[in-house]
């Protein structure tokens, strides 16, 4: 049933435009969490993200990262989707390179006048683990749902009606605008346009964006008229219904002790955990 929800997203790869992230087929492997209600997955993702973000030690962060990796794997996230993590790692690199030198603490490494501290390194690692863990959780629990079901679940969870419609309409239009862009880019390529770092290229790309706006505004008017013809009055009407079953409740209830355990581990560490349980 989930598969039939997803519209066909034509690949816009030709134009160097990467919209594949919105596609479900990118999660090439089977989504083993498909049995759960999308709403339960959304709630779980939010709970997990909240827990991960509040972790304080790199050890617990590492545990969270492995757990997030497992969730992503269960959700059927393919390795190809993980390349989206690259921009994130760029920012992480800046933090990894600067934080050890800006946090005071015990000496780890001295490079000339610069002194790196152990605490700074630990903080940088913690942030690295947490940031990646949250993204993996989002990929595994929400991203692998596909855009349509994810937004419907958000709507059922009480996202404001206008915002919901905006997201749904935008999703559909991204597809169309992406096609339009791919067509225009193909036309440019047919005229031997190769983007370079010069005035000509910038102007051409600027005009491309402008033309995209012009054509899309015209389309927006047509879409609005057509929607009014079909009786669009601004009311939200959701087409898909989800069924909340016992296993969804069990999933959330089962997650709570695990999350609490992780927080305890984070607070008191491995030894504290042993003291507390023994």
Which distant-in-sequence residues (6+ apart) come within 8 Å of 109 by Cβ? 100, 115, 116
Binder among 142, 153, 155, 251 for another protein (CB under 8 A): 142
Whether residue 120 contacts residue 102, with contact meaning beta carbons closer than 8 Å, is answered with yes
Give yes or no for residue 88 binding another protein (CB under 8 A): yes
* CA quadruple 18, 22, 25, 26: dihedral sign: positive
Give yes or no for residue 227 binding another protein (CB under 8 A): yes
The span of 32-40, 227-235, 249-257, 264-272 binding another protein (CB under 8 A) equals 227-235
For the packed helices 58-74 and 246-277, what is the interaxial angle rounded to 10 degrees? 150
Q: Which is nearer to another protein, 52 or 251 (CB)?
A: 52
What stretch of H or E contains 259? helix 246-277
What is the smallest separation between the CB atom of 73 and another protein, expressed in angstroms? 16
* Helix and strand totals (H; E) in the chain: 9, 2
End-to-end CA distance of the chain: give it in Å, rounded.
48
Binder among 129, 149, 155, 251 for another protein (CB under 8 A): 129
Give yes or no for residue 169 binding another protein (CB under 8 A): yes
Whether residue 266 contacts residue 56, with contact meaning beta carbons closer than 8 Å, is answered with yes
Q: Which string of b and e fits 210-231 if b means at least 16 CB within 10 Å?
A: eeeeeebeeeeeebeeeeeeee
* Class of residue 174 by CB neighbours under 10 A (exposed 0-12, middle 13-18, buried 19+): middle
What long-range pairs does 6-11 form, CB within 8 A, spacing at least 24?
6/146, 6/148, 7/148, 7/172, 7/175, 9/175, 10/175, 10/179
Give yes or no for residue 14 binding another protein (CB under 8 A): no
CA distance 148 to 152: 6
What is the smallest separation between the CB atom of 242 and another protein, expressed in angstroms? 18
Binder among 44, 49, 155, 251 for another protein (CB under 8 A): 49
The span of 30-38, 224-232, 245-253, 259-267 binding another protein (CB under 8 A) equals 224-232
Give yes or no for residue 217 binding another protein (CB under 8 A): yes
CA distance 260 to 250: 16
Binder among 62, 74, 95, 255 for another protein (CB under 8 A): 95
Provide the Cα torsion 263, 269, 272, 276; round to 10°.
30
The span of 3-11, 32-40, 47-55, 250-258 binding another protein (CB under 8 A) equals 47-55
Residues in the interface with another protein (CB under 8 A) total 89
Give yes or no for residue 62 binding another protein (CB under 8 A): no
Q: Which is nearer to another protein, 74 or 219 (CB)?
A: 219
Binder among 197, 231, 239, 277 for another protein (CB under 8 A): 197
Give yes or no for residue 238 binding another protein (CB under 8 A): no
The span of 29-37, 52-60, 248-256, 263-271 binding another protein (CB under 8 A) equals 52-60
Binder among 13, 14, 21, 254 for another protein (CB under 8 A): 21
Give yes or no for residue 125 binding another protein (CB under 8 A): no
Q: Which is nearer to another protein, 167 or 275 (CB)?
A: 167
């Amino acid at each position: 049933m989930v598969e039939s929800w997803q519209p066909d997203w034509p690949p816009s790869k030709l134009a160097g435009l990467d919209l594949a992230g919105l596609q479900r087929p990118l999660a090439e492997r089977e989504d083993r969490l498909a049995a759960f209600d999308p709403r339960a997955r959304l709630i779980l993702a939010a709970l997990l993200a909240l827990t991960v973000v509040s972790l304080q030690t790199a050890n617990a962060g590492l545990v969270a990262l492995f757990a997030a990796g497992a969730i992503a794997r269960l959700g059927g996230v393919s390795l190809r989707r993980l390349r989206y993590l690259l921009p994130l790692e760029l920012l992480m690199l800046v933090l990894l390179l600067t934080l050890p030198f800006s946090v005071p603490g015990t000496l780890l490494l001295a490079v000339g006048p610069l002194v790196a501290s152990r605490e700074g390194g630990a903080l940088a690692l913690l942030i690295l683990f947490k940031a990646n863990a949250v993204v993996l959780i989002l990929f595994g629990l929400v991203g692998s749902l596909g855009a349509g079901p994810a937004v419907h679940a958000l709507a059922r969870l009480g996202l404001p009606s206008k915002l919901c419609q905006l997201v749904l309409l935008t999703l559909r239009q991204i597809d169309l605008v992406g096609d339009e862009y791919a067509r225009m880019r193909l036309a440019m390529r047919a005229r031997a346009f190769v983007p370079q770092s010069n005035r000509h290229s910038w102007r051409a790309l600027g005009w491309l964006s402008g033309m995209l706006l012009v054509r899309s505004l015209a389309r927006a008017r047509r879409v609005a008229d057509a929607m009014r013809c079909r009786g669009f009055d601004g009311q939200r009407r959701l087409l898909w219904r989800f069924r909340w079953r016992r296993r969804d409740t069990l999933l959330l209830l089962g997650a709570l002790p695990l999350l609490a355990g992780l927080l305890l581990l984070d607070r008191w560490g491995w030894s504290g955990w042993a003291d507390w349980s023994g």
